[in-house]
């Protein structure tokens, strides 16, 4: 590969063809950091409105550092992978406390922040600070596996090192921001996972896989293990105009988010079984349980199969990490995807 020519071809294509995205209109490392965290595991089109609302709500690093966690989670509601939001805030607090509110500009320091891995560190350093640092994610590994004909399995963690070294070798020192963003954009628009658009590619001349006709065979990626499935009943327990909500534990999946009481059950659990289990757990009476919906919710590592019920109650006092809420109060609580699906079922029945 002719390194200089490759850099020029990639950067000039990026300048001409790049999408107009809100985080590309700023050089603020705080805002770029937010965008990179949101873009992990989430599509660009989905992120744009969330990013705009988030920056409006927390325009400065100190605003986010001082924000109440429940307000933060509400802003993140629907984006999923909620630990990203909590880790982002923890990292931002470290910057506010230890770096005078200025995002550090060295890989060693920025990588010490909570939730900042090698990719995010490299993206912020190159895009916000113009420092020639590698920013390697799955997108970039796919592109470079083709351009450089790297036939290592990208599903293996140790393979990332090969790609980080490759980027360090070929990155533009004059414009590392456009170089790294150009690789990302190439992966998003041209060098896609299936059917890469080689005829439109600005760096086709430099692509070893294209010259050998191997672009559709790369990258090499072994299949992930099958995800685990769990069966749940989610129950909207009402008392006059209020519903009982519980807050999930402070750590683990969907930490501190709110939900209708959840029970792990057998498949097709009967309403009577649900009533008995909840009456015992809540030390009161839960009755008239009626199934109103069934849905599946897929997380990255497991699947929830949920039967949704509505039920009446008597003599139930909200336990620790529980509260009775009106329909208006329910709207203010941060809830994840499964609870949104349950709320939709309740709305269709005119219950909330």
Residues belonging to the active site:
36
Residue 144's alpha-carbon distances to 112, 160, 191, in angstroms, are 27, 11, 10
Q: Is the dihedral of CA 243, 248, 254, 256 positive or negative?
A: positive
A 10 A CB-CB count for 242 gives 17
In whole angstroms, give the CA distance from residue 289 to residue 272. 7
Cis peptide before 306 (omega within 30 of 0): no
> Which residue's entry shows tokens 């592109």?
143
**Please, what is the angle between helix 29-39 and helix 118-129, to 10°?**
140
Cis peptide before 219 (omega within 30 of 0): yes
Write out 323-338 in H/E/C secondary structure: EEECHHHHHHCCECHH
Q: What is the dihedral of CA 82, 83, 88, 89, to 10 degrees?
A: 90
CA atoms within 13 A of residue 58's CA, in its CB half-sphere:
26
Determine the distance from the C-alpha atom of residue 241 to the mean position of all C-alpha atoms in its chain, rounded to a whole number.
Answer: 34
149 in Cβ contact with 218 (< 8 Å): yes
> Which residue's entry shows tokens 């909207």?
236
């Amino acid at each position: 590969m002719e390194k200089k020519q490759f850099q020029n071809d990639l950067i000039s294509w990026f300048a001409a063809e790049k999408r107009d995205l809100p985080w590309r209109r700023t050089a603020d490392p705080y805002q770029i950091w937010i965008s990179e965290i949101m873009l992990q595991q989430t599509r660009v089109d989905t992120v744009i409105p969330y990013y705009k609302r988030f920056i409006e709500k927390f325009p400065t690093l100190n605003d986010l550092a001082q924000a109440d966690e429940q307000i933060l989670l509400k802003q993140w509601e629907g984006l999923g992978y909620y630990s990203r939001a909590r880790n982002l805030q923890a990292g931002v607090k470290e910057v506010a406390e230890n770096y005078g509110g200025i995002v550090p500009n060295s890989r060693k320091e920025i990588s010490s922040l909570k939730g900042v891995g090698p990719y995010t560190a490299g993206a912020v350093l190159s895009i916000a600070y113009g420092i020639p640092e590698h920013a390697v994610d799955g997108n970039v590994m796919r592109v470079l596996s083709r351009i450089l004909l790297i036939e290592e399995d990208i599903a293996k963690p140790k393979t990332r090192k090969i790609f980080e070294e490759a980027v360090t070798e070929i990155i533009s020192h004059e414009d590392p921001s456009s170089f790294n963003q150009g690789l990302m954009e190439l992966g998003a628009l041209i060098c896609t996972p299936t059917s890469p658009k080689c005829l439109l590619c600005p760096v086709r001349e430099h692509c070893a896989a294209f010259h050998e006709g191997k672009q559709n065979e790369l990258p090499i990626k072994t299949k992930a293990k099958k995800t685990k499935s769990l069966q749940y009943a989610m129950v909207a327990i009402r008392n006059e105009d209020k519903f009982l909500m519980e807050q999930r534990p402070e750590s683990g999946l969907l930490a501190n988010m709110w939900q209708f009481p959840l029970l792990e059950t057998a498949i097709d659990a009967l309403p009577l079984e649900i009533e008995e289990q909840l009456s015992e757990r809540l030390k009161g009476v839960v009755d008239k349980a009626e199934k109103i919906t069934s849905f599946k919710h897929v997380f990255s590592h497991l699947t929830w199969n949920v039967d949704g019920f509505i039920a009446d109650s008597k003599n139930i006092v909200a336990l620790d990490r529980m509260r009775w809420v009106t329909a208006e109060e329910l709207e203010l609580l941060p809830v994840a995807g499964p609870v949104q699906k349950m709320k939709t079922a309740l709305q269709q029945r005119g219950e909330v």
